[in-house]
Structure 1
């Protein structure tokens, strides 16, 4: 889909069965040569009885994720696309109490949403099921929920990425090569043994797959007990506190 199609609000084709995601132009993109970093940002109205403890537990802890051998950070790392993601609760003129979600990733919006389905219906429902209008229950599918997520899209007006030309895998690979090279340099500096054997061992190590760096997820586990700040207008001098 080209930029003209996006600007006209046309839906995007996914790679799975020709299904359509209700996505629009995301706003600014970060680009360096052939590399692009994309951002998705969305907002959804929270239910009056939204369970924010359940939401944050699902994001934070293995035992609340399905299957419990992973947590959200680990599961999304396996998708290989996501650079960063964050959720926060605020208010909006459209919805009042609102869930916001921002994610930066490699590849296209369409591919990102194709892969987002792989988080599974149960996990997605624990998060976006706290929002009004989200499909829930046994008849709902992961696709239905991700389509609901896509329809909450809002436009990014400005964004920044320190390394738009490098994917996560490239960064991990270069870090792996740096560590192996540093080890080789120290072995050579010792001056003992066969230099040829050390070179051969070093070249052999470079051909080995790199280990994935563990992703970090920062979760405010007490968020369900703490209200969002509501005095921002007063702090900005826009109205007097009651």
Structure 2
């Protein structure tokens, strides 16, 4: 397969941002009907032999505040960022590294903007994840930007990606959900048949004018996986030979 194969995604031109992050590829871009764009990133990094995968899973937990400041979980922090549509981390093996950490994400911004915002996670949070990988900058002299640069250098190309709603950004989806809930509440109030209809209409419009609250993001962590050996018999199950 060559770099000039047909694809349903659109590739952007070279970056002109001063913070290039050593990215060699713009990532795949899914376009909506009105020109909206959903971007993606995929990367891989070699795991240390003693990688703390339990600590990595805890850092991304939705139940305990391992991420950021007091009371802030990864899900809460991501909700307030308001850009990331989906993300996943998984461990596998590769011919390049052996045990490998993989990461894939889709987001409502350019790849450059995504990495600029990545720095805001802070050095401590970033070390909890990519500090498990060989070559990741750590120690007192390392900065959040150094770690994000390391993350960017692990980029690999995505062949195909899919998004169900490329014409809607997260802000629009949040607002539609907010308006639906408020409209449903208004319909039930009218159906009740009591009170003054004009007052109900005025109250409804007043509610619509209020800023919509963020719908909480979700993160699901399977803590047992971090303690278990990754499946190593997939070649046998597929009836193919393992790579040398």
| TM-score (normalizing by structure 2) | 0.89
Q: Secondary structure at the match of 1:88?
A: strand
May I ask how many residue pairs the two structures share in their alignment? 230
Rounded to whole Å, the distance in 2 between the matches of 1:179 and 1:149 is 39
| Aligned position for 1:115 | 117
| Aligned position for 2:47 | 46
- Over 3 Å off, 4+ runs: none
Q: 2:38·2:166 contact (CA, 8 Å) conserved in 1?
A: yes
Rounded to whole Å, the distance in 2 between the matches of 1:202 and 1:62 is 37
Deviations, residues 129-156 of structure 1 (Å, cap 9, x unaligned): 1101100011100000000000000111
Deviation of 1:178 after TM superposition, in Å, equals: 0.7
Identify which range, 136-145 or 220-229, moves more after superposition: 220-229
Instruction: Give unmatched runs, 5+ long, in structure 1.
Output: 7-11
Rounded to whole Å, the distance in 2 between the matches of 1:159 and 1:88 is 17
Identify the match of residue 214 of structure 1 among 200, 216, 235.
216
Deviations, residues 180-208 of structure 1 (Å, cap 9, x unaligned): 11111111122222221111111000001
Q: Secondary structure at the match of 1:197?
A: helix
| Aligned position for 1:37 | 38
Rounded to whole Å, the distance in 1 between the matches of 2:191 and 2:42 is 51
| Aligned position for 1:182 | 184
| TM-score (normalizing by structure 1) | 0.90
Query: CA 1:81 to 1:184, structure 2 compared with 1: closer, same or farther past 3 Å?
Result: same
Q: Secondary structure at the match of 1:206?
A: helix
Q: How does 1:77-226 map to 2 (within 5 A)?
A: 77-226=79-228
Rounded to whole Å, the distance in 2 between the matches of 1:19 and 1:170 is 28
Q: 2:87·2:104 contact (CA, 8 Å) conserved in 1?
A: yes
Rounded to whole Å, the distance in 1 between the matches of 2:188 and 2:68 is 44
Identify the match of residue 5 of structure 1 among 10, 14, 25.
14
Q: 1:26·1:154 contact (CA, 8 Å) conserved in 2?
A: no
Q: 1:62·1:68 contact (CA, 8 Å) conserved in 2?
A: no
Rounded to whole Å, the distance in 1 between the matches of 2:13 and 2:184 is 49
